[in-house]
Structure 1
């Protein structure tokens, strides 16, 4: 197969129509979508996320080519590696560590990137190589560099790109440092979740360049796509978020598992008890609810964990990341929620105050928030970058 192949199957045509009607696939990206099928970059054994069962399932091209093709041409994420490559067998592993993102997410982020002829682009997180191939179709393979931290994943993507006729330069390395040897860049895009956007990327950009990256806090996995413009003097990059996403994290920025027993050494009743009138629905919302993202911006150095609901009760835990402060709020259907807190920080009080702050400002969604990156760190803001706070 070459980069000029355009024999789209009916299901892929239907996917394209769906992406266009949903606003993900803009007209300037339609030729790349047609010419560069995701299927050309997926492995023979993959684990698509089945929307009906809400779980990853193993699909083999050798055993069921029709099912494999259907999933390859669907708007669903596909896991291509588990457990940093240590996983064996066909059943899903413990932690997904490389994937092909939903086409709808891919093309929304490419739309945000706003590439133009002559641009030079750096991608952080090669994965299967499909995203790099789409960029190369627009800009030329010589104008795209992609960095992948996993050696086996990098080699597989390099092979797929060369086989397809788009020999993008694939660098095996830590994307957090960017790729200064290929700078300056007009566009940088990350396909992994970030907790810190390195200023090294800003330094490697031309003035006016655009950086598109999924970003969030350790509070939760509720990320949003940041679209940052590099200042004319190169001293900062700033911009708004364009919408919610959830990505696998940059490996250097993964949060180590929180060990509950290191925080709560006895009974939860040993914490200071109180109550709250905030309800579970108000506080948590749906999976991509904006309050989860907003609270992460306001409650620093905190991880929260939502436990399973049993017998009408759902505990939500909060763990401090700089000390052993903890809090637990137990929401119960039809009753006032009980709260326990312990440690130097009153984490539930902070979370409740952040929730009231969000409500008091009109319950803003992701697109009203912004981010500024400077050599000194990161600052978030709501509507106006002049009114910002460190994150």
Structure 2
């Protein structure tokens, strides 16, 4: 009889995704289909702002289950908000999922967990990733934390039917308070060799995670700032409850519930008719906010948190406006700026409202990026300590401020 994960394991191996035997064996032996619920959600083709439900009778389901696809397994925290025309069961926000297998394997291989290690997983989800950890390390080595009680109960059921009984805690992955009084007694802090987050930290990696890992241990987590897609961090924990590490790949994940950002877009936050609007000029090139260098976007997102923007290009049928654009930049605290870009250069016409001069903040971030040699993603790293999360260039002593 073929292993249940044979099709998936073959596909990932052929693509060069799997190089460590322990995870290859886990992929073969753990049936991913057993961890996918009866209903999943996919992006609606005609309404991309919504997710429509798909049941087991969908002809594409087998392909999604056994090939390299991520699937949403919960929307709107378990209470689907409905579709654009009131369709029941549709959702607006993906709030749990089963990750793309190639990304799952990539994260597990960066984690480099080995027999004898204790692993703390943040975000049990359906339990599939937990099952892979149990297969490779033994269920007694795995503790998983899930903020959603319903998801935790479902994951426990899935794991039990698959033959695994790790410790699954229903708790907030930000505080990890359940670990202080867990089923086996007080675990204390620093008791784990590895921590793997299957949910993204936005803006700041919780220091509570670092405190759970012994010196010499490793934290692997998705991380996002600003407008950039998520990246993957691998942090090594040192004495003094400090972790340092680098960006090692891409990792677009849902964000910790406690760190979800305001979902309003820049265009929703700008009110040009407000009586408090101030007009003037700026020497900051408005187009820099949209410059698609990932290093720059990480620096901008870190130094100007929660920034969002939209660029309105000039109409194609008006050649006299060629190259011009209106750039709106805003933050949820009520501050916004508008810059009118023209190929003629500075000064650029500008408007602003709110307590912050966002063009000045963007310009200052641009100067930092320029001064440090315009670092790309490969030169950037992160430190997490008791004071927060810090971005640096080349070495941890070169923090960006």
Residue 154 of structure 1 corresponds to 152
* Residue deviations 1:262-301 (CA, integer Å, cap 9, x gap): 7747259933333567474x64255x934322211222x4
Q: Is the 8 A contact 2:134 2:164 kept in 1?
A: yes
Q: Is the 8 A contact 1:123 1:145 kept in 2?
A: yes
Comparing 35-44 with 302-311, greater Cα deviation is found at 302-311
Residue 310 of structure 2 corresponds to 306
Does residue 31 of structure 1 match 2:25?
yes
Residue 115 of structure 1 corresponds to 113
Q: Is the 8 A contact 2:269 2:330 kept in 1?
A: no
Q: 1:147 to 1:215 in 2, by over 3 A?
A: same
Residue 368 of structure 1 corresponds to 379
Comparing 187-196 with 48-57, greater Cα deviation is found at 48-57
Q: 1:248 to 1:261 in 2, by over 3 A?
A: closer
Residue 380 of structure 1 corresponds to 391
Comparing 259-268 with 302-311, greater Cα deviation is found at 259-268
CA distance in 2, matches of 1:357, 1:310: 30
- Mapping for residues 171-250 of structure 1, pairs under 5 Å: 171-178=169-176, 179-180=179-180, 181=182, 182=187, 184-195=191-202, 196-217=204-225, 219-220=226-227, 222-231=229-238, 233-250=239-256
TM-score, normalising length: structure 2: 0.81
TM-score, normalising length: structure 1: 0.83
> Offset of 1:320 from its aligned partner?
4.2
> Offset of 1:13 from its aligned partner?
4.8
SS at match of 1:58: strand
CA distance in 1, matches of 2:349, 2:100: 39
Residue 96 of structure 2 corresponds to 98
Which of 3, 6, 9 is residue 6 of structure 1 equivalent to? 3
Does residue 351 of structure 1 match 2:362?
yes
Q: 1:105 to 1:202 in 2, by over 3 A?
A: same
Residue 77 of structure 1 corresponds to 70
Q: 1:376 to 1:152 in 2, by over 3 A?
A: same
Q: Is the 8 A contact 2:123 2:146 kept in 1?
A: yes
Q: Is the 8 A contact 2:4 2:31 kept in 1?
A: no
* Residue deviations 1:136-180 (CA, integer Å, cap 9, x gap): 111111111111111111111111111111222211110112334
* Residue deviations 1:49-106 (CA, integer Å, cap 9, x gap): 5999978553321x23x41110112322211111111117765311111111211221
Q: Is the 8 A contact 1:224 1:244 kept in 2?
A: yes
Which of 54, 62, 70 is residue 59 of structure 1 equivalent to? 54
Query: RMSD of the TM alignment (CA)?
Result: 3.3
Q: 1:314 to 1:126 in 2, by over 3 A?
A: farther
Residue 326 of structure 1 corresponds to 336
Structure 1: unaligned runs, 5 residues or longer: none
CA distance in 2, matches of 1:353, 1:148: 39
CA distance in 2, matches of 1:339, 1:223: 31
CA distance in 2, matches of 1:9, 1:119: 27
Q: 1:35 to 1:365 in 2, by over 3 A?
A: farther
Q: Is the 8 A contact 1:113 1:210 kept in 2?
A: yes
CA distance in 1, matches of 2:163, 2:201: 31
The structure with the larger Rg is: 2
> Offset of 1:367 from its aligned partner?
3.0
Residue 124 of structure 1 corresponds to 122
CA distance in 2, matches of 1:271, 1:341: 5
